[in-house]
Chain A
Amino acid sequence: DVKVTQSSRYLVKRTGEKVFLECVQDMDHENMFWYRQDPGLGLRLIYFSYDVKMKEKGDIPEGYSVSREKKERFSLILESASTNQTSMYLCASSLMGGASTEAFFGQGTRLTVV
Chain B
Amino acid sequence: LAKTTQPISMDSYEGQEVNITCSHNNIATNDYITWYQQFPSQGPRFIIQGYKTKVTNEVASLFIPADRKSSTLSLPRVSLSDTAVYYCLVGASGYSSASKIIFGSGTRLSIRP
- Residues of A that sit less than 8 Å from B by CB: 4, 30-31, 33, 35, 40-45, 48, 50-51, 54, 56, 58-59, 88, 90, 92, 94, 96-108
Contacts and interface: CB of A to CB of B under 8 A. Distances in A.
Contact of A103 (B41, B46, B97): B46
7 contacts: A33-B100, A48-B101, A90-B43, A92-B43, A98-B100, A100-B49, A108-B42
Range, interface on chain B: 20 to 34
A56 B97 contact: yes
Nearest to B102: A45
Contact of A43 (B44, B90, B96): B44
A103 B31 CA distance: 16
Contacts of A35: 103
A45 B101 contact: yes
Contact of B101 (A42, A98, A107): A98
Nearest to A90: B43
Interface of B: 1, 31-32, 34, 36, 41-46, 49, 85, 87, 89-106
B91 A99 contact: yes
Nearest to A101: B93
A24 B104 CA distance: 25
Nearest to A97: B99
A96 B99 contact: yes
A18 B104 CA distance: 29
Contact of B32 (A59, A100, A106): A100
A105 B28 CA distance: 26
Most chain A beta-carbon neighbours within 10 Å: one of B42, B91, B94:
B94
